[in-house]
Amino acid sequence: MVKKIEFLTPTEVIERYPEVAQQFGWTARDIGSFLKSKLLQGHFSPSMRKSLVNEASVIKLIAYANEQIENQKVKFH
């Protein structure tokens, strides 16, 4: 069975994943910038006059950000 691709507006991303705002400081405007710079997949809907972000790409970006934070920790022997 093919999984349906779900698109969210940047505001809906923040509402569905409030941790990104709390822990990373991301805003809806940041999500839009990530989309524009191709860090996220999605498109601009002229009829809705809104950006629509592929939810799966948001999850991948969150995982990548978490991985980078983990790699930046100072490790003691």
Give 28-72 pLDDT, tens digit per residue: 999 999 999 999 999 999 998 999 999 999 999 999 999 998 888
Q: Report pLDDT for 2.
A: 66
Buried b (16+ CB within 10 A) or exposed e, 50-75: bbbbbbebbeebbeeeeeeeeeeeee
Is 76 part of a structural domain of the chain?
no
Q: Report pLDDT for 9.
A: 97
As a whole number of angstroms, the distance between CA 18 and CA 43 comes to: 22
Quote the domain boundaries for residue 53.
Answer: 7-71
Is 2 part of a structural domain of the chain?
no
φ and ψ at residue 66, rounded to 5 degrees: -60, -40
Residue 18, Cα to own-chain centre: how many angstroms?
11
Secondary structure class of 8 (helix, strand, coil): strand
Count of the separate structural domains present in the chain: 1
Is 20 part of a structural domain of the chain?
yes
Is 40 part of a structural domain of the chain?
yes
pTM, two decimals, is: 0.84
Give 6-39 pLDDT, tens digit per residue: 999 999 999 999 999 999 999 999 999 999 999 9
